[in-house]
């Protein structure tokens, strides 16, 4: 670091008074100062609101003082889920930095491209992820550089730094083709979305949430860190969700008195199939207050299986990285086959083809331009076209009827893949299914169902049953022409089936 660059970093102790926006954050922490906020279920550590703020400000101070990371700079974060990862988000808040998380599962070439494209000034990594952080900028190693105890504690008179309109996060979409999009959000949009969702779900100091999403993605940041923070509640961080966790899923929630979950449909499917813990089912029926579901559509048969097993409704919501929360069911206002009522402050419109456009208070600043590092705003009209198809029902609830780019047109007839998938999931031998269109010289496209079978099931004996099931519930054009069995459908880290990758696997252009 040159002397010139070092001098360009304004010492943190000399900053101007914080904005009204950050003062509100300080006041919120002061109100809940002695309440637990961050519970580390892996290493049995707890941070109160006050302790979290002190730790986050200490980290921000170290980044500025030791590494000359100036306000407004971007910091890359390449870590597995951990309490340290959570604290780094808050360090970014107090230091005025933009957090740029990159999944540890990203391949090295792509991780380097994303971090360099974001113009990060520093990358935070651990021993297990350091190889992804080697891009020619300083590396903050959480295993060796983390400030311990009260060492290097920031002057308590330091006011911090923040501006509600400056970027707080750049998260990357988990696309399967092309370059992932970097979605840039300001503090204002993220905080407003968290507070609006909390109000609808009546989250408060009593809320204790189990953190299961990857912290590298928006759901693991907004849904399961910022929401409990602004509720005055607490969040329990454990190991990442996976097949082994499904077998002992309830150990941590029971030990730490969790009462609220955010789950993806893939997680629910794993629990329904693998969880055999009767104590978990009993605990859910007595202690769980809210189960929120997002990141992907939830089939009706799966929603009912969850109710049957745990006695709790899984409240499906709808949102996008670009628009944040759009709508949500709640335990008190739940309508099957919908994703709930639009949140206050959200505007929804529909195109002639039924495509959902979204506007309102939680919109992103734009997509990251990898050539310049700037956030490039979206449509000038203030609406974001989602690519999803839907409608509002008679009760004012939003229904998602399909995905525009997933729509199959067979012989001039529109086929909804989701409708076919919902139908096939009604068969006991089907664990999961993805319906795609494949080229056909006469019809243009044919309907193909790619199936993940339940344990012990074989495709050939049940295929006539699947055809009969589809014929009984769907129009003739929607009945799959072919059924293909795979050991496992390709999915993103958020549990979404990667249909573009599936088409590539089957030799079909995405």
DSSP assignments along 84-109, one per residue: HHHHHHHHHHHHT-EEEE--TTS-HH
Number of CB atoms found within 10 A of residue 167's CB: 22
Mean pLDDT of 268-295: 92
pLDDT of residue 7: 29
Buried b (16+ CB within 10 A) or exposed e, 309-325: bbebbbbbbbbbbbbbb
Residue ranges of domains in the chain, CATH in brackets: 1-34+46-162 (3.40.50.12780), 407-505 (3.30.300.30)
Between CA 155 and CA 488, with CA 222 as vertex, the angle to 5 degrees is 135
Q: Spell out the residues 6+ positions from residue 80 whose beta carbon is closer than 8 angstroms to its own.
A: 104, 126, 128, 129, 240
The arithmetic mean of pLDDT across residues 168-182, rounded, is 76
At residue 148, does pLDDT exceed 60? yes
Alpha helices in 344-438, H assignment, sequence order? 417-424
pLDDT band of residue 239 (cuts 50, 70, 90) is confident
pLDDT band with cut points at 50, 70 and 90 for residue 432: very high
Which residue(s) pair with 176 in the sheet?
none
**pLDDT band at 380, cuts 50/70/90?**
low
Residue 48: the pLDDT is 97
Q: Is there a contact between 348 and 357 (Cβ–Cβ < 8 Å)? A: yes
pLDDT surpasses 70 at 386 = yes
Q: Are 62 and 147 in contact (CB under 8 A)?
A: yes
The Cα–Cα gap between 199 and 252 comes to 27
| Structure-model confidence comparison of residues 58 and 164, the more confident one | 58
Query: Residue 45 pLDDT > 90, yes or no?
Result: yes
Quick one: DSSP state of residue 495? S
The pLDDT tens digits for 6-36 are 323 333 333 444 455 788 899 999 999 999 9
| pLDDT for the residue 299 | 82
How large is the average pLDDT for residues 334-356? 92
The pLDDT value given to residue 5:
33
- The yes-or-no verdict on residue 471 having pLDDT over 70 is yes
pLDDT at residue 12, as a whole number: 35
Confidence (pTM): 0.83
Query: Across residues 245-256, what is the average pLDDT?
Result: 92
Cβ pair 233, 205 in contact under 8 A: yes
35 burial via Cβ count (<10 Å: 0-12, 13-18, 19+): middle
């Amino acid at each position: 670091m040159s002397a010139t660059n070092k001098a360009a970093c304004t010492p943190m102790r000399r900053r101007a008074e914080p904005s009204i926006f950050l003062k509100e954050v300080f006041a919120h922490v002061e109100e809940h100062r002695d309440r637990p906020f961050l519970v580390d279920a892996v290493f049995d550590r707890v941070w109160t609101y006050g302790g979290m703020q002190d730790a986050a400000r200490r980290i921000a101070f170290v980044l500025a003082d030791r590494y000359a990371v100036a306000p407004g700079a971007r910091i890359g974060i390449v870590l597995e889920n951990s309490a340290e990862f959570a604290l780094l988000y808050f360090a970014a808040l107090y230091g005025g930095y933009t957090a740029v998380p990159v999944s540890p599962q990203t391949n090295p070439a792509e991780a380097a491209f994303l971090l360099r494209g974001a113009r990060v000034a520093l990358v935070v990594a651990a021993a297990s992820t350091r190889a992804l952080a080697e891009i020619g900028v300083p590396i903050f190693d959480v295993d060796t550089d983390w400030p311990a105890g009260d060492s290097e504690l920031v002057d308590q008179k330091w006011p911090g730094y923040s501006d509600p309109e400056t970027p707080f996060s750049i998260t990357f979409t988990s696309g399967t083709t092309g370059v992932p999009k970097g979605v840039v959000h300001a503090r204002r949009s993220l905080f407003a979305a968290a507070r609006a969702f909390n109000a609808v779900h009546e989250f408060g100091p009593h809320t204790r949430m189990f953190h299961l999403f990857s912290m590298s993605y928006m759901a693991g940041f907004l849904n399961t860190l910022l929401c409990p923070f602004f509720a005055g509640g607490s969040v329990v961080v454990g190991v990442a969700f996976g097949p082994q966790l499904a077998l002992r899923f309830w150990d941590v929630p029971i030990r730490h008195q969790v009462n609220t979950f955010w789950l993806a449909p893939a997680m629910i499917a794993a629990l329904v199939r693998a969880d055999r813990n009767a104590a978990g089912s009993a605990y859910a029926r007595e202690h769980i207050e809210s189960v929120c579901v997002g990141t992907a559509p939830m089939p009706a048969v799966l929603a009912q299986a969850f109710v049957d097993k745990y006695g709790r409704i899984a409240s499906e919501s709808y949102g996008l990285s670009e628009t944040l929360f759009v709508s949500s069911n709640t335990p008190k206002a739940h309508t099957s086959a919908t994703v709930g009522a639009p949140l206050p402050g959200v505007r929804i419109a529909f195109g002639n083809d039924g495509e959902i456009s979204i506007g309102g208070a939680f919109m992103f600043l734009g997509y990251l331009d990898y050539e310049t590092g700037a956030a490039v705003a979206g449509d000038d009209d203030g609406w974001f076209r989602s690519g999803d198809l839907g409608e509002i029902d008679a009760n004012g609830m939003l229904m998602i009827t399909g995905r525009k780019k997933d729509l199959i047109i067979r012989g001039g007839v529109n086929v909804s893949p989701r409708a076919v998938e919902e139908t096939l999931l009604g068969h006991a031998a089907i664990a999961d299914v993805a319906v795609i269109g494949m080229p056909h010289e006469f019809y243009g496209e044919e309907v193909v169902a790619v199936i993940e079978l339940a344990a012990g099931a074989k495709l050939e004996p049940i295929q006539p049953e699947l055809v009969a099931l589809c014929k009984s519930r769907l129009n003739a054009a929607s009945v799959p022409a072919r059924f293909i069995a795979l050991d496992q459908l390709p999915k993103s880290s958020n549990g979404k089936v990667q249909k573009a990758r599936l088409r590539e696997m089957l030799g079909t252009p995405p």
